A and B are shown apart, each in its own frame.
Chain A
């Protein structure tokens, strides 16, 4: 149910006086006016205060977080702007950093050059001393073994002499090489192996026939 006059009035196409006269004879419009008045009263009651005791604390916290975030972003932007404006100033600095880095790497590598084949002076002296003692001991062993070797049958004597001669030749080559390169650990290892071989051979000669 509706009334055309009410629509006209609410749309502003009818004056308050005209509508007042109409209302006197229209029960529907009277009721609408009553309801309107009641609605206005109820609407006023909706204006009662709404309590939100901790709302500002929440807002302040989130604004604080946002402030920190935007501060970081601002610093980042400033740095970027500075870089865009003054990038040419950074070239010498970057070159300097690269040069330092290169020098560091070079020196580091130089220090770490493998030394596996070169013996330090002190170690070399120790080795030479021990080698001398070892060679002397083998020479004494050879002296002891010589009569035994001479008493062997011809075939065996010839075999051991050839073997000892080969070892002595190897020892000579090692000594010659060490004379020009005394710190070479590889040659020293060959020398030691040859000496051990000679010791083993002499031990076999001494043990022959026992």
Chain B
């Protein structure tokens, strides 16, 4: 979907055209699902977050400024929906888990447990890392989505990398043992 095409779709969304919302869904389904899965850890929760995202998008589409980047706006809504779910699940007080406390798995489980390890990162760090390293948004885009400074995004991504490297190192050691 080109930018002008996206603008037209957004205009149709403003008029309440559900088919236009479906086009948005089809365009962003995978990145939204992946991000929500990484943030929440469970696919069911991720689906709830996306449903909530579209409902909030429907209610707030008139507040979206023309000329702004839509993906940034949409992901901002998604992350807020994820935070709401986390708060409901009483996970609001996310612990800053040290690398040595992250789960250790054998190599064939690495992919699954990397997702778990990401889900256990502190919330802000997790969001910065998922958007930057998994969904490949730029530092500035992540900063706009999360409403923080670019410097804060860089620091969080750097610390997340450190933790995940340490966790990967521990996993490998566990595997070798």
Closest to B18 in A: A63
Quick one: which of B22, B33, B47 contacts A60, CB cutoff 8 A?
Answer: B22
Write out the residue numbers on chain B whose beta carbons fall within 8 Å of the beta carbon of A62. 51, 54-55
A43 to B55, CA, bound (A): 30
In the complex the two chains form, is B54's CB within 8 Å of A47's CB?
no
Contacts of B54 in A (CB 8 A): 59, 62-63
Complex-state Cα separation, A46 to B38, whole angstroms: 9
Complex Cα distance A35/B54, Å? Answer: 38
A11 interfacial by beta-carbon distance below 8 Å: yes
Q: Does A84 contact B (CB under 8 A)?
A: no
Q: Is B21 an interface residue when CB atoms closer than 8 A count as contact?
A: yes
Q: In the assembly, what is the distance between CA of A11 and CA of B18, in Å?
A: 46
Q: Which residues 25-79 of A sit at the B interface, judged by CB distance below 8 A? A: 31-32, 35-36, 38-39, 42-43, 45-47, 49-50, 52, 55-56, 58-60, 62-64, 66-67, 70
Stretch at the interface among B73-81, B82-90, B161-169: B161-169
Residues in B lying within 8 Å of A, measured CB to CB: 16, 18, 21-22, 25, 29-30, 33-34, 37-38, 43, 46-47, 50-51, 54-55, 58-59, 110-111, 114-115, 118, 133-134, 158, 161, 164-165, 168-169
Q: Beyond A39-B168, A63-B54, is A52–B133 a contact (Cβ under 8 Å)? A: no
- Closest 6 A-B residue pairs measured CB to CB? A50-B33, A35-B165, A59-B54, A42-B114, A45-B111, A35-B168
Q: Mark out the residues of chain A between 60 and 110 whose CB falls within 8 Å of any chain B CB in the assembled complex.
A: 60, 62-64, 66-67, 70
Interchain CB contact under 8 A, A36 and B43: no
Task: Please list 16 pairs of residues, one from A and one from B, whose beta carbons are closer than 8 Å in the complex, sorted by A's number.
Answer: A35-B168, A36-B165, A39-B168, A42-B111, A46-B38, A46-B118, A50-B30, A50-B37, A55-B33, A55-B47, A59-B51, A59-B55, A60-B18, A62-B55, A63-B18, A66-B58
A162 interfacial by beta-carbon distance below 8 Å: no
Q: A35-B165, A42-B114, A67-B16 are in contact. List 13 more A-B contacts (CB 8 A).
A: A32-B165, A35-B168, A43-B133, A43-B134, A52-B29, A56-B25, A58-B51, A59-B25, A59-B54, A60-B21, A62-B54, A66-B55, A66-B59
Q: How far is the CA of A35 from the CA of B172 in the complex (A)?
A: 10
CA distance A38 to B59 in the complex (A): 42
Rounded to whole Å, the gap between the CB of A43 and the closest CB of chain B is 6
With a cutoff of 8 Å between Cβ atoms, the chain A residues found around residue B161 in the complex are 10, 36, 39
Cα-based distance from A139 to B118 in the complex (angstroms): 119
Point out the residue from A10, A43, A66 that lies within 8 Å of B158, measured CB to CB: A10
- A16 to B78 alpha-carbon distance, docked (Å): 36
- Whether the pair B165, A39 counts as a contact (CB closer than 8 A) is yes
Judge whether B18 and A64 touch: CB under 8 Å: yes
Which single member of B16, B43, B114 contacts A52 (CB below 8 Å)?
B43
Tell me whether A46 and B34 are in contact (CB under 8 A). yes
